[in-house]
Chains A and B, each alone.
Chain A
Amino acid sequence: MAGSRHRILIGTAASLGLILLWEAVSRSGAVSARFLPAPSVVVATLWTMIAERGLLYHAGVSTLRVWVAFLIAAAMAVPIGILMGSVRWIGAALEPVIDFIRYLPVPALVPLSIIWFGVGESTKIFLLWLGTFFQLVLLVADDVRRVPHEFHETAMTVGAPGWRRLTDVSLPAMLPTLVDNMRITLGWCWTYLIIAEIVAADSGLGFVIWQARRFFQTPEVMAGVITIGIIGLLTDQVIRAAHRRWFRYLVR
């Protein structure tokens, strides 16, 4: 594991170096603090925002929205994707429609979504679902198709009925890739969330950032952005760790 410790060390050192450089540039006055406040200022702002402005509440609201929408999308994408990947005519029927919707840029659908759902929570959930479901379902279908045919044939020659092959072969065989794909899609969810919260919200990190922009509070904008970054990084690392734990059998 010396290699991985080495990597962590290099990564930390490089990040620290970058932050120090940023601090130095801001302090030198080469760039106006209005555009580029020093990291120390941003961190201080972050702290006041947590203490006085309920930043954690907004972060919680955003996280909740992301997870609700993501779980709905995943709960639909996994079974539908497995069916699309396993039953040829279902795949053939759904793929063109899904492919079309997948290419629609989510921001372009914001007006339509507001017409349909108003400016409440359902609009945000809908937009996030829109951005993730159609991507994930195609990834799932592809992963199912990539399961080695030997696995299915092994199941058939021990007498597995067709539908049991979905649960006993396709699902476990694709699970590691599925978790990876979910991790990546969850990241995209945040992008769509911020768009949704900027357009129509009175809470959440997107709202906080947009408010700060209106008053030209660059440190607050940055503090908001950094909060999203931290949440993303933590989520990613937790899922990666879980992946290593759940799929220990992959390690040779």
Chain B
Amino acid sequence: MSYLEFRSVTKRYGPVEVVAPFDLEVAEGEFVVFLGPSGCGKTTLMRMVGGLEQPSSGRILLRGQPLGPPDRRRGMVFQSYSAFPWLTVAGNVAYGMRYRRDLTAAEKRARTAHFLRLVGLTDFAHQWPNRISGGMRQRVAIARTLAAGSEILLMDEPFGALDALRRERLQLELRRIQREEGRTVIFVTHDVEEAAFLADRVIVFTRRPARILAEVDVTARLGPESTLELRGSAEFFALRNELLALVRSTDEEEEATAP
């Protein structure tokens, strides 16, 4: 039995078929990246895992159990509005545990401090989200999701709005945290390099309705570590080009089907 399983999942909005029968198995602790053309249905798939949308047909199973309404096992990190502006950085992280009855106040404080340290925001604990950078706000959201105890992190283009340097730093951090905490991640991006760098496995999608065009097992090709040295290696470059070629082919498909 796999950890997270899509079984012939489809999604339609009225007449528009957004997700074609979709099957995928994700292992526990795996970092899966969704890569695909704009509007192909990546966000929709992710929101279905989060319980924020219902499949039109098919099922999504977590440890063999059908998914119910949203709960804290499946945490979301959005691209924008990722932190509540009226709570401090620490308040936002603690918010992840607000509805947990299994933790005492002292435990919540300790966990808040722990996850703030993990994402490197201890010094900004009492700052307002509007006064820190976009990258820091994304880290707040990651810490909140981890503090909530989410097993799965659903991240929809979380680093899209960042400059190259911050982005790289955040990628390294995310990868480290995910390893340390043993969480499963589903990560959506348009950036081929980001996909190659972060993923254990990249799923490349066709245009809408979403189907799997290709699966690339990155770990098998590059090993399990994501380091900056790796980024300069020939293997990484080859993989990146391969992904780019796949993404391009979805684009040509578009031209081919155009009248």
| Partner of B98 from A153, A160, A251 at Cβ < 8 Å | A160
| Partner of B71 from A148, A159, A164, A249 at Cβ < 8 Å | A159
For residue B185, CB closer than 8 A to chain A, the reply is: no
Please judge, given known A-B contacts A150-B78, A164-B99, A252-B130, whether A159 and B84 are in contact too, CB under 8 Å: no
**Chain B residues proximal to chain A, CB less than 8 Å:** 50-52, 69-72, 74-76, 78, 80-82, 84-86, 95-100, 128-131, 141, 144-145, 148, 150, 154
For residue A154, CB closer than 8 A to chain B, the reply is: yes
| Set of chain A residues within 8 Å of B99, measured between Cβ atoms | 158-161, 164
| Set of chain A residues within 8 Å of B131, measured between Cβ atoms | 251-252
Q: Nearest chain A CB to B196's CB is how many angstroms away?
A: 28
Tell me what chain A mostly uses at the interface: helix, strand, loop, or mixed.
helix
For residue A89, CB closer than 8 A to chain B, the reply is: no
Using CB atoms, name the residue of chain A closest to B131: A252
A131 CA / B114 CA spacing, docked (Å): 52
A-B contact pairs, 14 of them (CB 8 A): A150-B80, A153-B78, A156-B51, A157-B74, A157-B76, A157-B148, A157-B154, A158-B72, A159-B70, A159-B100, A160-B99, A172-B86, A175-B86, A249-B130
Query: Do A153 and B52 touch (CB < 8 A)?
Result: yes
For residue A248, CB closer than 8 A to chain B, the reply is: yes
* Most chain B CB inside 10 Å of its own CB: which residue of A151, A159, A251: A159
For residue A30, CB closer than 8 A to chain B, the reply is: no
Query: Do A250 and B100 touch (CB < 8 A)?
Result: no
Query: Do B130 and A150 touch (CB < 8 A)?
Result: no
Smallest CB-CB A-B distances: 10 pairs = A150-B81, A156-B70, A159-B72, A249-B128, A148-B81, A158-B148, A159-B99, A150-B78, A172-B86, A157-B76
A153 CA / B78 CA spacing, docked (Å): 9
Using CB atoms, name the residue of chain A closest to B71: A159
Q: Which of A203-252 contact B (CB under 8 A)?
A: 248-252
| Set of chain B residues within 8 Å of A150, measured between Cβ atoms | 78, 80-82
| Set of chain B residues within 8 Å of A148, measured between Cβ atoms | 80-81
| Partner of B130 from A159, A164, A172, A251 at Cβ < 8 Å | A251
A173 CA / B100 CA spacing, docked (Å): 22
Q: Nearest chain B CB to A99's CB is how many angstroms away?
A: 29
| Partner of A159 from B80, B148, B154 at Cβ < 8 Å | B148
A249 CA / B50 CA spacing, docked (Å): 29
A242 CA / B96 CA spacing, docked (Å): 30
A148 CA / B144 CA spacing, docked (Å): 18
Query: Do A157 and B150 touch (CB < 8 A)?
Result: yes
Q: Nearest chain B CB to A174's CB is how many angstroms away?
A: 10
For residue A121, CB closer than 8 A to chain B, the reply is: no
